[in-house]
A and B are shown apart, each in its own frame.
Chain A
């Protein structure tokens, strides 16, 4: 049986320990909701599983189908069947979307697809996601709106057919119609056998994709692993009850100033400090 097993995982980013002993098992066909306050390590866990070079594993193990994936390169992990749907997909300069898609499909095949097969598959994938096919000719994520980037992530998931899909706030930036389209695609792949580990702050997405488990991450650890009704409780009550019922103090995340605006905004924000 396919299984992702994480044991006592410690991960450091820029000298700071973010994950402090994560234990988590995802079985084949699992559909797991990953919840937790901002800045407590949810995205870090996904990046560490996928192998981002900035996320350094200092202790613990990650195995997928009994294979130690810590030693594998990022592309090898992808070819094993792991997929990460990014919260902020990179805008890669100069790469045309359709060239990119053709390449990522061909690297998993012994022989490259014929242009006709590729074209047909791609056309269908765009139709399923409800994005105009003309977007295939644009540069990869460059100038895409937030919603377009997220749909492009799911489009890639559909084309690559991963075994385990990890989705990081795939619903942020999507309007209601788009959430429905994305959720439908996720559900269909799940029914076809894909496992899921999904981060979201909103019950709307989970109501549509119906996880069978919910796990909660606080202070870099999984503190609760239970039934999906945890999602409802967090949606209405937040995370305060964890402190009272489990006796876990929720660490405050340092308030870092992050600038996403122009230079003037940056100066203004820094000046405030």
Chain B
């Protein structure tokens, strides 16, 4: 799929079931694109490429409650000055899921800004990998780039990995990254249980905390669907 958001346009696209594996998007000068993914069924392979022109604005919201084994890659190119991109991913991996997300921001021009937030929960025997690259190229002065990844791993056989990479070829820029992969420990669970929550209730509460903030970007129907899926997958 190819799409151009024309100069000064303001567009919102929501993608769910029928995602073609390659998406090429261009956001022209002063245009704004909000790109939403709400994925529930089999995890699709997605290759997303976005080019942002002068002062263009991109907001990606990705709610991943799919199942299966696949890879999602996104390359967001901030080609001209003033371009701005944000990325917010929430992913729930359960049973034998193997999910990989490779997201990169490429700052080609000065005064470009990018912010990436990835949240994940790995249950049962699932594997979840977040790889994020923020690349500030030569001449992209005064650019600001940030990424953070948080994964919580519940079960013995589940695993999570976060690979944050910053590549900086220019001085005079701001860049930051944070990555936390935490295992739910006995003390956390004991604390929650000591207040009367069962093990399931305690785990569900933590998963909600990580994953439901993404729901506010979607309509009521999608919000309900997300809530149901969290409950369903946590009680496997």
**Chain A positions near chain B (C-beta within 8 angstroms):** 50-54, 73-75, 77-79, 83-84, 86, 89-90, 92-96, 99-100, 103-104, 107-108, 139, 156, 160
Q: Are B205 and A99 in contact (CB under 8 A)?
A: yes
From B188, B194, B197, B209, residue with most partner A Cβ within 10 Å: B194
Which residues in chain B, 170-204, are within 8 Å of chain A measured between CB atoms? 180, 182, 186-188, 190-199, 201
- 26 residue pairs of the A-B complex, CB under 8 angstroms, read A50-B190, A51-B194, A53-B186, A53-B190, A73-B198, A75-B197, A77-B194, A78-B193, A79-B196, A83-B194, A86-B191, A92-B192, A93-B180, A93-B206, A93-B209, A94-B209, A94-B210, A95-B208, A99-B208, A99-B209, A100-B192, A103-B197, A104-B196, A107-B197, A160-B195, A160-B196
Chain A minimum-CB-distance residue to B198: A75
**Size class of B's contact patch?**
20 to 34
CA distance A70 to B186 in the complex (A): 18
CA distance A139 to B182 in the complex (A): 15
Q: Say whether chain B's binding surface is mostly helix, strand, loop, or mixed.
A: helix
Q: Are B209 and A104 in contact (CB under 8 A)?
A: no
User: Which chain A residues lie closer than 8 Å to B198 at the CB level?
Assistant: 73, 75, 107
User: Which chain A residues lie closer than 8 Å to B193 at the CB level?
Assistant: 73-75, 78
Chain B minimum-CB-distance residue to A101: B195
Is residue B152 contacting chain A, with contact meaning CB distance below 8 A?
Answer: yes
User: Which chain A residues lie closer than 8 Å to B194 at the CB level?
Assistant: 50-51, 74-75, 77-78, 83-84
User: Which chain A residues lie closer than 8 Å to B197 at the CB level?
Assistant: 75, 103-104, 107
CA distance A100 to B192 in the complex (A): 8
CA distance A73 to B188 in the complex (A): 15
User: Which chain A residues lie closer than 8 Å to B188 at the CB level?
Assistant: 90, 92-93
CA distance A90 to B187 in the complex (A): 7
In the complex, the 9 A-B pairs of residues with the closest C-beta atoms, listed nearest first: A94-B209, A74-B193, A90-B191, A78-B196, A104-B195, A94-B210, A95-B209, A75-B193, A107-B196
Chain A minimum-CB-distance residue to B190: A52
Is residue B107 contacting chain A, with contact meaning CB distance below 8 A?
Answer: no
Chain B minimum-CB-distance residue to A90: B191
Chain A minimum-CB-distance residue to B195: A104
Cβ-neighbour of B206 out of A74, A89, A95 (below 8 A): A95
User: Which chain A residues lie closer than 8 Å to B187 at the CB level?
Assistant: 90
Is residue B141 contacting chain A, with contact meaning CB distance below 8 A?
Answer: no
**Chain B positions near chain A (C-beta within 8 angstroms):** 150, 152, 180, 182, 186-188, 190-199, 201, 205-206, 208-210
User: Which chain B residues lie closer than 8 Å to A77 at the CB level?
Assistant: 194
From B186, B190, B210, residue with most partner A Cβ within 10 Å: B190
CA distance A83 to B195 in the complex (A): 7
User: Which chain A residues lie closer than 8 Å to B208 at the CB level?
Assistant: 95, 99
Query: What is the CB-to-nearest-CB distance from A149 to chain B, in angstroms, rounded to a whole number?
Result: 11
From B180, B191, B199, B210, residue with most partner A Cβ within 10 Å: B191
User: Which chain A residues lie closer than 8 Å to B195 at the CB level?
Assistant: 75, 78, 100, 104, 156, 160
Cβ-neighbour of B205 out of A54, A78, A103 (below 8 A): A103
User: Which chain B residues lie closer than 8 Å to A100 at the CB level?
Assistant: 192, 195, 205
User: Which chain A residues lie closer than 8 Å to B150 at the CB level?
Assistant: 93-94
Chain A minimum-CB-distance residue to B186: A53
User: Which chain B residues lie closer than 8 Å to A156 at the CB level?
Assistant: 195
User: Which chain A residues lie closer than 8 Å to B152 at the CB level?
Assistant: 93-94
User: Which chain B residues lie closer than 8 Å to A139 at the CB level?
Assistant: 209
Chain A minimum-CB-distance residue to B119: A94
CA distance A52 to B195 in the complex (A): 13
From A83, A86, A92, A160, residue with most partner B Cβ within 10 Å: A92
